[in-house]
C-alpha cells in the first residue's frame, strides 16, 4: 500500500495545499495518518476520494455538501465490486506514475542525459 505526502497529492490533483486540508476537514472519509514528524500521509483510498471529489466539484459542478452526499452514496452503494476493481486499477496506475516520475528524475541527473522537459 502506497502512501503520499500532501505535496504529492498537490502535484497529482493540481490544487493548492490549503484546499486539500479544507477538503480533509469537510469530508470525514479522508483520513490521513501522521508520520512520526507529524506530516500527513495519504493512502490510496484517500487519493481516490480526492480524485472523485475534485471531479464532482469541478466537472460536475456539485456543491461541497452535494459532493459529500454523493461520495457517501457511492461508497455504500450496490456496485461495490466494480468500484473495487476500478480502485485497484487506479492504485496501480498511480504507483506506475510515481515509478516513472522517479526514474525520469534520476535519468535527468545523469551527465550527458537529455532533460525530459525539453522538446526535441
pLDDT tens digit string along 45-92? 899 899 999 999 999 999 999 999 988 888 877 666 566 667 667 777
In a domain, 30, yes or no: yes
Whether 71 contacts 52, CB under 8 Å: yes
* Residue whose C-alpha is closest to residue 69's, from 88, 55, 86, 56: 56
Query: 18-37: per-residue pLDDT in tens?
Result: 999 999 999 999 999 999 99
In a domain, 117, yes or no: no
Q: How far apart are CA 99 and CA 94, in angstroms?
A: 9
Residue 34 structural domain: 3-100
pTM reported for the whole predicted model? 0.67
Give residue for cell 500521509: 41
In a domain, 50, yes or no: yes
Provide the pLDDT confidence category of residue 119 given band limits of 50, 70 and 90.
very low
Amino acid at each position: 500500500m502506497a502512501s503520499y505526502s500532501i505535496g504529492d497529492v498537490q502535484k497529482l490533483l493540481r490544487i493548492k495545499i490549503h484546499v486539500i486540508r479544507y477538503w480533509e476537514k469537510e469530508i470525514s472519509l479522508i483520513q490521513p495518518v501522521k508520520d512520526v514528524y507529524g506530516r500527513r500521509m495519504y493512502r490510496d483510498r484517500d487519493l481516490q476520494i480526492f480524485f472523485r471529489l475534485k471531479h464532482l466539484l469541478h466537472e460536475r459542478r456539485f456543491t461541497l455538501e452535494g459532493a459529500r452526499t454523493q461520495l457517501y452514496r457511492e461508497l455504500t452503494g450496490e456496485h461495490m465490486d466494480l468500484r473495487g476493481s476500478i480502485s485497484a486499477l487506479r492504485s496501480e496506475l498511480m504507483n506506475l506514475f510515481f515509478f516513472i516520475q522517479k526514474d525520469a528524475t534520476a535519468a535527468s541527473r545523469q551527465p550527458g542525459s537529455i532533460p525530459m522537459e525539453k522538446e526535441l
